[in-house]
Amino acid sequence: MSVVVALVHGEPGTYGISFPDFPGASSLGETMAEVMERGREALASHIEAMVEETRSMPVLRTLDVLQADPAFAEDFGDAAAVALVDVDLPGRSVRLNISMDETLVDRIDRRARALGETRSGFLASAARERLAYKS
């Protein structure tokens, strides 16, 4: 688990959230709780897209380092809140040996091909989705 700095701007009814270490990852919400939840989802989707595009992950900066960066002075100055968001950054790939029903494997392979994905990518995406599911 890693920690990403988030900046929240706005006022009740119109909040926006962004992540200085992940330019382009942002979201909106009417309440602080809503913008934080949507921000976590936007960050997770942004990271997933980076993985799919094989883009490298940024080096995460601490709050102190970001606050000392003159490029972010104005952003911190008018922020309604600064938050630290827990996120799972991808690690190195690990080879697995698993067993599944051959009919299920065939269905997975056909669906992955239709989506332009590999079997491994398809299964990883399905696992991420299932792990994010809140019952």
11 beta partners: 14
Q: What is the pLDDT of residues 65-119, one digit of tens each?
A: 999 999 888 888 889 999 999 988 877 778 899 999 999 999 999 999 999 889 9
φ, ψ of residue 90 to 5 degrees: the values are -65, 145
- Total domains present in the chain: 2
Q: Do 85 and 113 share a domain, yes or no?
A: no
Q: Which of 35, 21, 105 is nearest to 71 (CA)?
A: 21
CATH code at 58? 3.30.160.250
The pLDDT value recorded for residue 121 is 85
Q: Which residues contact 46 (CB under 8 A, 6 or more apart)?
A: 19, 22, 24, 25
What domain range is 123 assigned to?
A: 94-135
For the chain, how far is it from start to end, CA to CA, in angstroms? 22
Q: Distance between CA atoms of 8 and 92, rounded to whole angstroms?
A: 31
